[in-house]
Structure 1
């Protein structure tokens, strides 16, 4: 039940988890903006779930090269983990080149979206695909990023995810129908990934009242108040899939709500009346319960059931204040 509340269909068991991108660590370290927890400030878009997907497309698309084609690759990112209730607010494709071998030589990158499933062995013609981006570049140790928000929205709402086709050309390179050593070396240096941000409105609170100052008055130990409770994810067997934090201060509420309720106990109107009735008929009416009156969110960085890296903000995870209800 708890894992389902966290948006998981079972306890993740990472088999081949990849490294956590630096951008995710930066977003995690920023924490949750308690004034607006439904916005990813580092990416400047609404959302409370950030996911990272590794490319699952084939390593190489077998095809006779044409013009100055160096690389042709089918990119595929499985976005099926995004639930229908989520609203995709950002989709970002990143093409990273791990090596800076080709000083001074210019290349051109083109990204296409397939419109139809082509027959095996047939070259994709312009009628079967749509050009999304084209960009020239020289420095291969740099990353190229492209906004694919609309494409990601279509993949998740229409269910027509046929991936992408990436082509890289060596500008001015004479190939004579063969791949040059310059192009052949490029294959092992390319890494493609995708990042999505989505908003789950069911677990997002758009506004949050400012924290009340705790009363400095001393209280008896049996009076309703916040108690310290640290949750270590290792103790509950989550250390294999939760990346960060390793645990957090969850706290809990405990204590009595005696008559008369003082302002310090933050009793609801119903609780005030209930304590009054209890003072008259203690056998028939119990005292109000000590319960959280203010909670705050935390961020969790973890691997999901598909080994994707996920950064998610979870509401109502930390007890900040307690009162009688």
Structure 2
């Protein structure tokens, strides 16, 4: 991601008491940097999936914000989509059919610059009781939909998965990465059809088995994507001299906490509620010491300033090392998003 999101946060916070029109401009800049087309206003937000909470609490592993450890794939954005598909026609073409669902997930929030590295469908059941009964599952991708409703012809859908399963205390997961890639183009997203059949060899009545399947609770889709602009190929190592003492007016890191409630973001930012962003402030006097981590340019600039102070200013105090944070929030479509952001916390300062 170009530039530092930290500076946008700092700018927005310092202008919070300014005119509302100015605040709006700064807020739009920051929301755009966060990958949002406007300030989210959750209407009917769903619960945060346990998987996303788990990844968020672990933090960014190995100082690498461009890999999602929980999913073991490259990426810095995870989105959770709820099923928006309606219940399809109840007319069953086979007596053994227990349930048919039309699944639809809106992936319009995925930006063109993002690379989908994982698409995972999760299917849950409310009551997972095991009685030895086996079911058959078929998952189709819809290729065409009529104006009068969905037709169940083979030419209009493609079989993606066909497998047997038992009702156990766990979810069913299916890798739909290629499908999710296609769905970033809304014209190619017609959704899925999920069909579940009872085993034809069963000795129990069809209603007994179908009652268990009809306790189907929901399907959700996870996507992991990589925004290359938010990744760095290398990171600056922490200098051992950062802990050396310095006078109060010398360039150094200052503590600065951003509370999302103060900027009116608490209703859509799930976690964290705020974070220690910090900032750099202080003088860069001549001669520059090693502690101030001055660049060659800064050293020469202070040297020239010592001879011509009225013409050449001293170098500026600026961040020399920044670190990422993770954010959990609801996007403009009420989807739950976990995203890693570079350059959000100032760790070290120096003269530039």
TM range (shorter): over 0.9
**CA distance in 1 between partners of 2:149 and 2:307 (Å):** 86
C-alpha contact 2:142 2:193 (8 A) present in aligned 1: yes
Among candidates 159, 170, 176, match of residue 131 of structure 1 = 159
**2:213 partner SS:** helix
Match of 1:16 in 2: 44
**CA distance in 2 between partners of 1:216 and 1:58 (Å):** 60
In the alignment, structure 2 segments of 5+ residues that lack a partner are 1-28
Q: What is the correspondence of 1:102-117 to structure 2 with a 5 Å cutoff?
A: 103-117=131-145
The answer to whether the aligner puts 1:221 opposite 2:248 as a matched pair is yes
Write the deviation string for residues 136-188 of structure 1: whole angstroms up to 9, x where unpaired: 111254210000001111111584011111000011278xxx97364256334
The answer to whether the aligner puts 1:299 opposite 2:320 as a matched pair is no
Match of 1:254 in 2: 281
Q: 1:159 to 1:214 in 2, by over 3 A?
A: farther
Q: What is the correspondence of 1:83-232 to structure 2 with a 5 Å cutoff?
A: 83-101=111-129, 103-118=131-146, 120=148, 123-157=151-185, 159-172=187-200, 180=207, 182-183=209-210, 186-232=213-259
**CA distance in 2 between partners of 1:197 and 1:153 (Å):** 11
Match of 2:84 in 1: 56
After TM superposition, give the deviation of residue 210 of structure 1 in Å. Answer: 2.3
Q: 1:55 to 1:122 in 2, by over 3 A?
A: closer
**CA distance in 1 between partners of 2:73 and 2:155 (Å):** 34
Write the deviation string for residues 249-304 of structure 1: whole angstroms up to 9, x where unpaired: 11100000001111110111111111111111111111111000110000001111
What TM-score do the two structures reach when normalised by structure 2? 0.86
C-alpha contact 2:87 2:100 (8 A) present in aligned 1: no
Match of 2:342 in 1: 315
After TM superposition, give the deviation of residue 63 of structure 1 in Å. Answer: 2.5
C-alpha contact 2:198 2:206 (8 A) present in aligned 1: no
**CA distance in 1 between partners of 2:256 and 2:147 (Å):** 60
Q: 1:320 to 1:159 in 2, by over 3 A?
A: farther
The answer to whether the aligner puts 1:77 opposite 2:105 as a matched pair is yes
The answer to whether the aligner puts 1:236 opposite 2:263 as a matched pair is yes
After TM superposition, give the deviation of residue 232 of structure 1 in Å. Answer: 1.3
C-alpha contact 2:327 2:339 (8 A) present in aligned 1: yes
Write the deviation string for residues 191-244 of structure 1: whole angstroms up to 9, x where unpaired: 100000000001111332322224443211000000111111111111111111
Q: 1:164 to 1:103 in 2, by over 3 A?
A: same
Higher mean displacement: 116-125 or 85-94: 116-125
Query: Which is richer in helix?
Result: 2
**CA distance in 1 between partners of 2:243 and 2:200 (Å):** 75
Write the deviation string for residues 56-96 of structure 1: whole angstroms up to 9, x where unpaired: 00034343442411111110000000000000000000011
**1:180 partner SS:** helix
**CA distance in 2 between partners of 1:5 and 1:321 (Å):** 23
Q: 1:311 to 1:268 in 2, by over 3 A?
A: same
Write the deviation string for residues 290-323 of structure 1: whole angstroms up to 9, x where unpaired: 0001100000011111110000000000001100
**CA distance in 2 between partners of 1:288 and 1:81 (Å):** 42
C-alpha contact 2:257 2:275 (8 A) present in aligned 1: yes
In the alignment, structure 1 segments of 5+ residues that lack a partner are none
**CA distance in 1 between partners of 2:303 and 2:256 (Å):** 32
Root mean square deviation of aligned Cα: 2.1
Among candidates 293, 298, 309, match of residue 282 of structure 1 = 309
Higher mean displacement: 157-166 or 14-23: 157-166
Write the deviation string for residues 12-38 of structure 1: whole angstroms up to 9, x where unpaired: 111111111111111111211354321
